[in-house]
């Protein structure tokens, strides 16, 4: 949770997308990674999208152990269970992992990122959702 939560915020990724990230899809030189099968309302599958990693997200991913194919070696189910246990332990009510996506987008705008820059992090094809 110490790296997964900040990574989720600074990438605005869904939990499943994070747990599917692979070392082979990381381009550290260009601060990019391919998100496999990114959820899209009009497409059922095969929606692999290259997204920009914020400097914070890149630093987090670079400190992960490079053991195995995945950058975060856990399943979405086990990470979700750990997240639920953590928020219960901290007595946080009504917080869902999905809320971190919205927090991340808000933070990027608060940090001075433009709509175009945030769209490259999110993987949006259109700016309409960010406007």
pLDDT, position 131: 60
pLDDT, position 92: 93
Cβ proximity of 98 and 2 under 8 Å? no
On the question of pLDDT at 36 being above 60, the answer is: yes
pLDDT, position 47: 78
Q: What is the pTM of this model?
A: 0.88
Contacts of 79 (CB under 8 A, 6+ apart): 4, 15, 18, 19, 72
Which pLDDT band holds residue 26 (cuts at 50, 70, 90)?
very high
- Other CB atoms within a 10 A radius of the CB of residue 128 amount to 8
Cβ proximity of 105 and 118 under 8 Å? yes
Cβ proximity of 97 and 83 under 8 Å? yes
On the question of pLDDT at 42 being above 60, the answer is: no
DSSP state of 59: H
């Amino acid at each position: 949770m110490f790296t997964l939560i900040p990574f989720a915020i600074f990438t605005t990724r869904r939990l499943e997308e994070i747990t599917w990230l692979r070392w082979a899809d990381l381009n550290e030189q260009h601060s990019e990674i391919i998100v496999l099968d990114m959820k899209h309302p009009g497409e059922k599958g095969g929606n692999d999208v290259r997204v920009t990693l914020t400097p914070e997200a890149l630093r987090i991913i670079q400190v992960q152990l490079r053991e195995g194919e995945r950058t975060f070696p856990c399943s979405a189910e086990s990470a979700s269970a750990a997240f639920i246990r953590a928020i219960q332990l901290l007595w946080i009510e009504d917080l869902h992992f999905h809320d971190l996506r919205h927090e991340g987008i808000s933070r990027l705008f608060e940090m001075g990122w433009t709509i175009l820059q945030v769209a490259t992090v999110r993987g949006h094809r259109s700016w309409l959702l960010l406007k």
